[in-house]
Amino acid sequence: MSENSEFRPGPATGVGSMPGGDAREAAKTVAGTFEGPETGMPFLAELPARGPGADMIGRTAGMLAELYARVEPSGWRLGDRPGRDTKRARSWLGEDLDALEEFTQGYQGPLKVQAVGPWTLAAALELRNGEVALSDPGACRDLAGSLAEGLREHLAEVRRRVPGADVVLQLDEPSLFAVLSGRVRSASGYRTHRAVDRQLVEATLRDVVSVQAGGPVVVHSCAPDVPFALLRRAGATAVSFDFALLTERDDDTIGEAVEGRTKLFAGVVPGTDAPLSDPAGSVMGVRTLWRRLGLNPGLLTDAVTLTPSCGLAGASPEYARRALAHCARAARSLADNPE
């Protein structure tokens, strides 16, 4: 898939994380809800409740090539050699891949995998001195290169296990706005690290996006002020966001994204246990946005994929199942009545 127009992720998907610690149960739920292009895009579930190494940062740290991290009281810290924390992260990832492979036998269509993007990783992983990698431009460069190489290996492994899949890479960048605006705190907590130049942020993201060799890349952030234009320039095929955090300030960039055939992964279903409205109610805001932008209603279902507002790790297992199914039902409502 080398062109955005060819990327058809399906009407709905999940963000990535799921509650509990049972990899087979999570994979079964995901595969049973999103069976293919007509119902939605299955994804490799993440189960952070298992502990360090299954969390977002530790999981991606375990994918790094020739860089290793261990758990310290303050968080994840880069080290010289793989220790038990790296081995545990890789073991859990292998368990999740085993479960995915089991429940996607014969599957053909888009399949999403997630990893933390280079800037959120740099804002979270500590160097030996206790400061985050973001404080050192050379460390940021090395980290992005290691991430890119590790992701190439990971994507190749997923393709080997699910040969019918068109693998979609999602880069999670919840700290991107903080990196761009100089809001990442130092180890002492008394100051913040300097804002990173936007061109450098964009170039580094582009380098990591390129591991997909023209294939689809989604960049996800459930934080406010998602830099849509920067992500599009960096090569993102789609942008995933919490729809409730959009403001009318975002209208122009949203309109430009749609006209530029960038897909929108709109988080419209609460990520933690909450009453669910009827499916039509969940997409009312999407329809309203479309009308406000004066966009063709016929583009709506091709341009928008519905998701929970963020990961479901903090939800109950029963709610997580209902939330994913609700995304699929809301997407059908949107397709049946786009106006």
pLDDT digits (tens, 9 = 90+) for 15-46: 999 999 999 999 999 999 998 788 999 999 99
- pLDDT per residue over 114-141, tens digit each? 999 999 999 999 999 999 999 999 999 9
| pLDDT for 179 | 97
> What is the pLDDT at residue 36?
78
Identify the pLDDT of residue 1: 43
Q: Band of the pLDDT at 3, cuts 50, 70, 90? A: very low
What pLDDT does 190 receive? 87
- The mean pLDDT value of the chain amounts to 94
In the Cβ-directed half-sphere of 240, how many Cα atoms lie within 13 Å? 29
Q: What is the pLDDT of residues 255-282, one digit of tens each?
A: 999 999 999 999 999 999 999 989 999 9
Check pLDDT > 60 for residue 5: no
Separation between Cα atoms, residue 131 and residue 154, nearest integer Å: 28
Which whole number is the average pLDDT over 208-226?
94
Q: What is the pLDDT of residue 166?
A: 95
Distance between CA atoms of residues 24 and 11, nearest Å: 24
Give 239's strand partners. 219, 264
Give the model's pLDDT for residue 334: 92
pLDDT digits (tens, 9 = 90+) for 164-197: 999 999 999 999 999 999 999 998 888 999 999 9
Instruction: Order across the sheet with 263-269: list the strands.
Output: 109-116, 165-172, 217-221, 238-242, 263-269, 304-308
